[in-house]
Structure 1
Amino acid sequence: MDYALVATDFDGTLLPIGHDEILPRTREAIRRVRRQGVRFVIVSGRATTGLLNITRKFDIDTDGLYLIGFNGASAVQAWDGTTLFSHRLDLALARQVIARALAFDVVVMVPEGAEVFTNRPDSYAVAFETGANGTTSVELADPSIIGFAPCKVLLGGDHAELVRLEADLVSRFGEQTEILFSADFLLEVNARGVTKGEALAGLCEALGIPVERSIAFGDNHNDIPMLKAAGLGVAMANGVPEALAAADRVTLADTEDGVAVVLDELIPG
């Protein structure tokens, strides 16, 4: 197969968890395939603001780079910040989801631009979210009073409590939203139909690239739709069991240059 586009998750895929640098072999493999004209896309649950920040932090060349954030809700051209598409939650629906979440012992986070509106700014989940994206927290005792339609609602806390909340939200709003875990302590709510897979397919169509000519890499639950949508879905060995089962292929772990191993084989220099 002559692959024309590579899409990859960031945390746990390109960047090993706990590391502060992309591994040299992986970085060089990405540079090489990009020099060969293959389109490159970073697809993440992170806010697009955060993705733009990581291109600077990790010295990622933005020329011709596409960024898909919020689990597929928003896509931008990294080189000039132009938004290609944005699929937000309906405001009334978002307020209902948040109001229901506040009945549970969880942290509510609503990212927008460089800010995250939250009921618990001192929580670990908020520190993780703002630290990862280079954003700041804004305390809002009742986040359901937000005045904007968000790209996503992010819920943090104990896994068992989030599982209880997930079941409750699915029963109430499951037909109107996409609800999934991006980490054991993070539950995410997007508009119905918003997934990394739909975003990948939409971007391929916009670029005139058959989705069959794409490779996607991922490790977590929110990557599964993208692994299924791509021409070749590759899960990292450090991924969750569900991602490994959904992928066409499993590569080495993020700490073992799993992305580079596949790129070196399928798109050699």
Structure 2
Amino acid sequence: MGQQEIGSPQLIIDGRAIKAALFDLDGTLLTSQGHADPRTVDSIKRLRAAGVLTGLCTGRGVANIEAHLEPWGLIGCLDAYVASGGVDIVDVTLTRHERRALLAGAVIDTIIEHFADVPATPAVTIDGVVHALEASLTVCWFSEREHMPYVVAPRQRLSCEGQPKLTFMLDPSHMDEVCAAAATLPPDLEASGHPTAPYLFEFTNPEVSKEAALAVLMGWHGWSLDELLVFGDEENDISMLKAAGVGVAMANGCDAARSAADFVTHGNDENGIGAFIDRYLP
């Protein structure tokens, strides 16, 4: 059977015709080893062939996504992606790329100073290269795991201009300390922070969110969020899980994400996305 026209889907969930499906990456589409389960990829291909626009909605940046599409086996599977937590919106079908509000350099500097005594390493990604304040064990591990080069850079380099996000890399055992430090930042600071993985805490401009970016993406096609299916696992996925017509959390997700979702599927190491798609796709 040939591919259906995008926007003429064959996927109906709880009476809703789903026109787009977007997936978080880490902890959701990717396994705990950082790979994409071939069964999940096959289900996404079937979904796309059924006329559903498919894409990613992740905290990762555009360069990181594009560098990993081939090893993940996702070449030819995706029509769009929302990157850096909602800063970049890319739609391949429309040949369109829009960048939203950046995190101001002065704000980055304030956050780094505030976190001076917290056991976490600040970093920004510039042109696909991680610029970190120090070569911590987590930075080195992250660089090797993601196949992304890193350099040690002074604080002034990290905050000299606006960036899509500021990332703190940490040992998961220190996440409570990082969250506590984030909670004591000045309330009027133009930054919003969330854990995005057990070893990452990320700040973006408060105007940026996955939900807002998805509304823009859907609007480009004349669709509403009610026609959207999303999958996520972490706190930064909660807004999109609530806003989408159908929000699906992974069994391995945080309690708040599972509570916000309409459905909970199997974990990311158990083909959770594929299992859910296959349940509803004829």
The residue that corresponds to 2:180 in the other structure is 164
Q: CA deviation at 1:132?
A: 4.8
Contact kept, 8 Å, 2:124 with 2:165, in 1: the verdict is yes
1:26: Cα distance to partner?
1.4
What is the rounded CA distance, in whole Å, between the counterparts of 1:164 and 1:38 in structure 2? 41
Question: How many residue pairs were aligned?
Answer: 264
* Mapped pair 1:139 → 2:114: no
Q: 1:176-195 alignment to 2 at 5 Å?
A: 176-195=190-209
Query: Which sits farther off after the overlay, 52-61 or 124-133?
Result: 124-133
* Paired position in structure 1 for 2:18: 3
CA drift of 1:38 comes to 0.7
Q: Taking structure 1 as the reference length, what is the TM-score of the superposition?
A: 0.89
Query: 2:126 maps to what in 1?
Result: 112
1:51 aligns with 2:77: no
Paired residues for 1:199-214 under 5 Å: 199-214=213-228
Deviation of 1:145 after TM superposition, in Å, equals 5.7
Contact 1:117/1:143 (8 A) holds in 2: no
Give the % identical residues: 26
Shift of 1:253: 1.4
**SS of residue in 1 equivalent to 2:194:** strand
How far is the alpha carbon of 1:221 from its aligned partner?
1.3
Structure 1 CA distance for aligned equivalents of residues 37 and 117 of structure 2? 42
Deviations 1:33-79 (A, max 9, x none): 11122101111111211111121222213475212111111122458
CA distance in structure 2 between the partners assigned to 1:248 and 1:173 by the alignment: 32
- Measured in 1, the distance between the counterparts of 2:111 and 2:95 equals 30
Structure 1 stretches lacking a partner, 5+ long? none
Distance in 2, matches of 1:127 and 1:209, equals: 42
Name the residue aligned to 2:30: 15
Counterpart-to-counterpart distance in 2, 1:136 and 1:112:
11
Which residue, out of 100, 104, 107, partners 1:93? 107
Q: Classify the secondary structure of the residue corresponding to 1:25.
A: helix
Q: TM-score, normalised by structure 2?
A: 0.85
The alpha-carbon deviation at position 142 of structure 1 amounts to 2.2
**Residue identity matched to 1:136:** P
> In structure 2, what is the Cα distance between the partners aligned to 1:247 and 1:34?
23
TM-superposition CA deviations, 1:206-234 (whole Å, max 9, x none): 22221101100011111111111111000
Task: Measure the CA separation in 2 of the matches of 1:174 and 1:28.
Answer: 46
Q: Does 1:126 align with 2:142?
A: no
Q: Give the counterpart of 2:241 among 204, 224, 227.
A: 227
Q: Are 1:197 and 1:225, in contact at CA under 8 Å, matched by a contact in 2?
A: yes
Distance 1:133 1:143, change over 3 A: farther
Partner Cα separation in structure 1 for residue 100 and residue 145 of structure 2: 21
Deviation readout 1:141-164 (Å, 9 max, x if unpaired): 324663221100001222233123
Q: Which amino acid counterpart does residue 162 of structure 1 have in structure 2?
A: V
CA RMSD across the alignment: 2.2
Number of the residue aligned with 1:257: 271
